[in-house]
Amino acid sequence: MILKGVYYSRPAEQYLTVERAPVADRCPECDGDDVRRYPAFTARGPKFVVKCQRCLALVREEEPSIDEAHPPFWPLTRQWDCSRAG
């Protein structure tokens, strides 16, 4: 499927970064206190992950709310109930 008319400009920055918001949690693996929350694409779809920045242990995954722009686009059927047909 080719999406015609959907174009994104080339980024001006050499490296793209994601804001990693600090969270008031402790890592269960290394007991570190540098735990951050940020968007990620996982095998189960777009999620917000909370990870330790010291040992990179996954503390938890969270579903993005409808107000959070991750991903920046949502299908219209996002919160519809699934039928047996799919």
Instruction: Return the structure tokens found at 52.
Output: 């330790």
Residue type, 76: L
* Residue 43, domain member (yes or no): yes
* Residue 8, domain member (yes or no): no
* Residue 6, domain member (yes or no): no
| Angle at alpha carbon of residue 32, lines to 29 and 35, rounded to 5° | 95
β-strand partners of 35: 23, 52
Enter the DSSP assignment of 25: -
Give the max Cα distance, the chain: 49
Domain count along the chain? 1
pLDDT digits (tens, 9 = 90+) for 32-61: 999 999 999 888 778 899 999 999 999 999
* Residue 73, domain member (yes or no): no
* Residue 47, domain member (yes or no): yes
Domain that holds residue 53: 21-62
Using alpha carbons, select from 79, 25, 77 the residue that is nearest to residue 52: 25
* Residue 74, domain member (yes or no): no
pLDDT at 6: 61
* Residue 75, domain member (yes or no): no
* Residue 27, domain member (yes or no): yes
Tell whether pTM > 0.85: no
* Percentage with pLDDT > 70 across the chain: 81
